[in-house]
Amino acid sequence: MLRAVALTKHFPGKQVIANFSFAWSTPGIYLIAGPNGVGKSTLLAMLAGALAADAGEVFVGDADLRNSPLSARRRLSFCPADCPVFPFLTGQDWLGLLASVRGHLNRQALDQLMDGFQLHAHLHTRFDQLSLGTARKILLLGSAAADTEILILDEPSNGLDASSLAALQQVLREQARQRLIILSCHEPAQRRGFDISPDRTLSL
């Protein structure tokens, strides 16, 4: 489903990822673990095609991100740890944009997370007027509702209250029967709710 081959990334004065290779071949929830600063966000961004690697390749099925980016990105969805959304957009604008790009959104996931995140009252508020936690919920909602084979989430538990985290965990556990989900999560207590088995944990 997703394969990384010899991924390498340097930032000034530091090599963050060196010759990383791994293949995820079956649906399920997989964890990228490691202390802060080890390169988890960098790796996830490269896997999603949001950050170019200095060397190496990422294959989504038989399409590689470097030479067939549109074909590869069509099959995956990514939610970064920050909120890179135009500040003048509302949540409803953002979901409408995603639906127009993707063709449609998964209505079941959309309804479940809209209720679980209690977002109905915030959809017509601009992003620059939302709290960080609410903005993150809208981004997570859009990513999880994108009808793609692969979902990549960078620290999805950040900024979520207990009930919102439980709602997200439930949706992802259901989706993991047919979807490859790769995430980072540094809090052991929060990881447990995703039901990630030890053989699906990769430490950097």
34-93 tens-digit pLDDT:
888 899 999 999 999 999 999 999 999 999 999 999 999 999 999 998 878 889 999 999
State the Cα–Cα distance between residues 61 and 94, nearest whole angstrom.
28
Q: Please provide the average confidence, as pLDDT, over all residues in the chain.
A: 93
Note the pLDDT of residue 132. Answer: 87
Q: Which CATH architecture has domain 2-203?
A: 3-Layer(aba) Sandwich (3.40)
Phi, psi of 169 (to 5 degrees): -60, -40
Place 19 in a pLDDT band, splitting at 50, 70 and 90. Answer: very high
**What does the alpha-carbon distance between residue 59 and residue 201 come to, in Å, rounded to a whole number?**
20
For a pLDDT cut of 70, what percent of the chain falls above it?
99
Entry pTM: 0.94
Q: Specify the pLDDT at position 190.
A: 67
pLDDT (tens digit per residue) in 164-200: 999 999 999 999 999 999 999 877 766 778 888 889 9
Distance CA 151, CA 140 (A): 10
Q: Which amino acid is at 198?
A: P
Region of 83 (left: φ > 0; alpha: ψ -120 to 50; beta: rest) is beta
pLDDT at residue 141 greater than cutoff 90: yes
> Residue 52, Cβ neighbours under 10 Å: how many?
10
